[in-house]
Amino acid sequence: MKNHRDTQTYFMRNRKVPTRKLNVSDKLLTPGPYETAEKREIRLEGKVKIIQRYFRAWQIKMRMKALRLESQRQIDFEAECDEVELQQMEAIRKKDIITKVFPVKGEDFSMLFNMVSFYILS
């Protein structure tokens, strides 16, 4: 009986129920004609196909972009490896030239001796 209408105070009995005020952006919708599930499916079938087509096209574009980036990264990496390899080969050539001109170790002298003997034989 605590929340019964007769036991409530004057304030509680006359309290106004808050009502929602219409906003300017609110729209009043009027119901359309009745539509069966079959008719709705027929109406939406074309729209679903269009959405699927555009979504799949977007997916393919994103995949192609990712593959293009990956391919470009691979090409850049290979070019960088080739450049490093060329620099190493150039360093080896420079070292060989220096050892031929200014021999210091026994290996350098033996290399020069072999080169001279090969030149004499040919």
Residue range 88-99, pLDDT digits in tens: 999 999 998 888
Q: Is residue 32 part of a domain?
A: no
Q: Is residue 42 part of a domain?
A: yes
Instruction: Kindly report the pTM of this predicted structure.
Output: 0.48
What angle, rounded to 10 degrees, do the helices at 37-101 and 106-121 form? 90
Residue 122 is which amino acid? Answer: S
Q: Is residue 4 part of a domain?
A: no
Which pLDDT does position 22 carry in this prediction? 66
For residues 45 and 81, the model is more confident at 81
Q: Is residue 45 part of a domain?
A: yes
* 68-86 mean pLDDT: 97
Give the residue numbers spanning the domain of 91. 38-121
Q: Is residue 85 part of a domain?
A: yes
Q: Is residue 64 part of a domain?
A: yes
User: Domain tally for the chain?
Assistant: 1
